[in-house]
Structure 1
């Protein structure tokens, strides 16, 4: 790892949960000696990427980060960046892709990209709220929440939206556990009777889950090989969207 890489690792320590960091904490988190980390902090401060509080001596992000953030949003807006990731996922899977964010006890679509190479493809109504317990997106999202919060949201989702035969609190909880392990979820015709959904969670800058990106496939062309192929592209795409949102690398 180059010196530049090591210095930039310092910037990765900052988030909404950790807006400032001191020398000792930075050294502990980076697993490096204090003298080395001090050099990185000083270099970043000299270039305006960090500022040091005069009283606490802790460091926080500096004006250079703000300037680059403004330039980034003007020249390559988040919406465009996310749309490009979704479009690439459509090209890789030849299926409809949609992105949704949590809204109450459901998920609201914030983007849909349809495939142009299939005569038969899934239509996603962008105005429809997706129930958490019946959709791959909902299960993928819930799998990343703390157990107590996930269970509460799951119960509220069941209470708000009528379920389908075979979908119970226990079966939905089992799907959440599988999704947590695999990094993606599968909903086999539980929301639309002829559609199989696969989804992976996306995270906000706070490091907390905020929604999911999903691939919707007609049941007629979904099998185990299709699942493996889609997952190969879906999970990395969810990571890219999370990075665009500013999520920490460890999410």
Structure 2
């Protein structure tokens, strides 16, 4: 039998009571609907408010969903957009390179695979990275590219500890080492990682930007080797990965422009 966390379950039930038809609810109404005690509802609302999942309205008597919920929603929609838009592009990248290719986003201190195109070549099928796979951002080459628009202070806030966990001898061991690597990759516009997270796995990554120029994802090509094959590099591997990332950046930007125009039309109606 699976175990649940009652407090978390109750908090989520409160959030799901809010809707487009009822965007504002008070503690008495929530108590009546959910069958919780008034003190429990009050404590849950206070906790959700402190985390900005709800906020007070109507002179503090009622609540509505807060910005944290919107951020979760936007993050989910953005990752879904990138996954949907990215799939045919990385399929083409896989066909052009023969390598396993992915679209990866950053979620805090992790990177998350949101789209994959496995290699058709038998000797590359050992690369087992699935949609939903999480890796530590500081140890994975994809993470270096995804953190390239962070300042040192922002990076330090993300990693306040003195030493970072090393997975191989090539993993950055401090925030200073990580920042140097991030800057290096930002300057050249792509990343090449050779066994920084897992020995025998190398990748080439290039950043994908949204309509505002922010790094939101990377396109990657992965191969089961300690070093990136010079034949692949000379054959234009970096160029092909960067071109795929550029195509995705343009499509994300075009999608944002279409969404903005749709919103303008809706507001005029």
TM-score of the alignment, normalized to the shorter chain, above 0.5:
yes
1:200 maps onto 2:206 in alignment: yes
**In 2 relative to 1, CA 225–172 (structure 1 residues): closer, same or farther, beyond 3 Å?**
farther
Q: Which residue of 1 aligns with 2:140?
A: 135
Q: Which runs of 5+ in 2 are unaligned?
A: 1-80, 257-269
**In 2 relative to 1, CA 224–176 (structure 1 residues): closer, same or farther, beyond 3 Å?**
farther
Q: Which residue of 1 aligns with 2:249?
A: 242
Q: Which residue of 2 aligns with 1:230?
A: 237
Instruction: Say if 1:133 and 1:154, in contact at 8 Å, map to a contact too.
Output: no
Matches within 5 A, 1:1-80: 79-80=83-84
Q: Tell which structure's C-alpha radius of gyration is larger.
A: 2
1:123-160 CA distance string (max 9 Å, x none): 2133321211111110011123334323433557965x
Q: CA deviation at 1:165?
A: 2.9
Instruction: Say if 2:201 and 2:223, in contact at 8 Å, map to a contact too.
Output: yes
- With the length of structure 2 as denominator, give the TM-score of the two structures: 0.56
Q: Which residue of 1 aligns with 2:154?
A: 149
1:86 maps onto 2:93 in alignment: no
1:213 maps onto 2:219 in alignment: yes
Structure-1 separation of matches of 2:244 and 2:102: 12
3-state SS of 2:130 partner: coil
Instruction: Say if 1:107 and 1:138, in contact at 8 Å, map to a contact too.
Output: yes
3-state SS of 1:124 partner: coil
3-state SS of 2:193 partner: strand
Q: Which residue of 1 aligns with 2:196?
A: 190
Superposition CA RMSD, Å = 2.7
Q: 2:181 aligns with which of 141, 160, 175?
A: 175
Q: CA deviation at 1:223?
A: 2.8
Q: Work out the number of aligned pairs and report it.
A: 171
Structure-2 separation of matches of 1:223 and 1:246: 33
Structure-2 separation of matches of 1:123 and 1:109: 12
3-state SS of 1:246 partner: helix
- With the length of structure 1 as denominator, give the TM-score of the two structures: 0.59
Q: CA deviation at 1:166?
A: 4.2
